[in-house]
Amino acid sequence: MRDAMLDAMDGVPGVDILLAHDPRLPMPTHASQCHVLNDDDEPWQIWMSLMAAADMVWLVAPESAGVLQQLTEAVEASGKVLLTSASEAVRMAGSKWQTYRQLHGAGVPVVETMQAPHRPDSGSAWVVKPDDGVSCDNARYFHDADALESWLQNIPAGHIVQPYVQGLPASLTMLCRGGEAWLLACNQQLVEVEQGRIRYCGGIVNGTAERWTDFDELARQVAAAIPGLFGYVGVDLIIGNDGCLHVLEVNPRLTTSFAGLQAAIHYNPARLLLDLFYNEDFKLPSGLQRNRIEIKLND
């Protein structure tokens, strides 16, 4: 995802890229200034110094432990241009429980969600996740109600419980601004359930493009329900066996699908983001493609 961001921004004339680099990862090839983190470096100080030197900040960070929220608030306090969602939207979307309440109240079709140790009465199997978790991290699957009840009595606070919805895991990639949405891709997610653990293995960008009209309407509903969303946003959902869409969560940031987005739409996604920011009458370019691009993790 990092390299996809850098490749895209490098393709925009007149843009200098500043970033911090973890030396455990391959060195980036596109950067005007790259600070390699040392063992004695304080990452927050490095991020603040790079932010001070930048004009615009394109954040990508996990919601877990409030990291994305803190970074977003820091950018807002600095007065720099923020190319991602506002802190209030990040706070909302960073909590699966708060997201459920917001979307449900707005009439968006969303999977029933309760705070542990309570569980929905619906369903014959259930999923338990950290309220601020990312992707499938620490998500558990239960098909036995007694086992679920026993486990719920011993988990720490900050988890949610949802019924396991039979169907096809999917997601959508969209641009948002001021309560409006522009759908870019309809994706299939590759998810495995093994020994009670749920694992995200990758996805197929535009793997569910046949549902474009339905996904487009859902994107508009989500953006209207959380108007502080800006820039690239992902929505995870299930296409139920009955064909209905069921939203699981909203990601107020880039998701893994971004790694294949440029090839999928045959257009520079960084150019789209900057156009969204600068152009009050933003419209998607004509002729964006809907290519199927597969992304695999943990190969």
Dist CA 295 CA 256 (whole Å): 8
DSSP state of 257: G
Output the CA–CA distances (angstroms, integers) from residue 46 to 20, 34, 42, 146, 179, in the order listed: 7, 11, 7, 48, 33
Instruction: Please give the angle made by the CA atoms of 15, 181 and 233, to the nearest 5 degrees.
Output: 60
Dist CA 135 CA 148 (whole Å): 21
Short-list 260, 263, 264, 261, CA closest to 273 = 261
Choose which CATH entry (3.40.50.300, 1.10.630.10, 3.30.470.20, 3.20.20.70) describes domain 91-109+167-296: 3.30.470.20
Q: Read off the pLDDT of residues 54-72 as tens digits, 9 standing for 90 and up.
A: 999 999 998 888 899 999 9
Q: Per-residue DSSP letters for 108-168?
A: --B---EETT---SS-SSEEEEETT--TTTT-EEES-HHHHHHHHTTSPSSEEEEE---EE
| Angle at which helices 43-53 and 67-78 cross, to 10° | 30
Short-list 139, 41, 96, CA closest to 235 = 96
Q: Read off the pLDDT of residues 176-186 as tens digits, 9 standing for 90 and up.
A: 999 999 999 99
Query: What percent of the chain is modeled with pLDDT above 70?
Result: 99
Dist CA 273 CA 235 (whole Å): 18
Whole-number pLDDT of residue 298: 63
Average pLDDT over residues 38-62: 91
Q: Read off the pLDDT of residues 78-97 as tens digits, 9 standing for 90 and up.
A: 999 999 999 999 999 999 99
Output the CA–CA distances (angstroms, integers) from residue 139 to 79, 132, 157, 160, 195, in the order listed: 37, 11, 14, 10, 12
- Structure-token pair, residue 253: 């940031």
Q: Read off the pLDDT of residues 153-192 as tens digits, 9 standing for 90 and up.
A: 888 789 999 999 999 999 999 999 999 999 999 999 999 8
Kindly report the pTM of this predicted structure.
Answer: 0.94
Domain ranges of the chain: 2-83, 91-109+167-296, 114-163
Dist CA 9 CA 153 (whole Å): 48
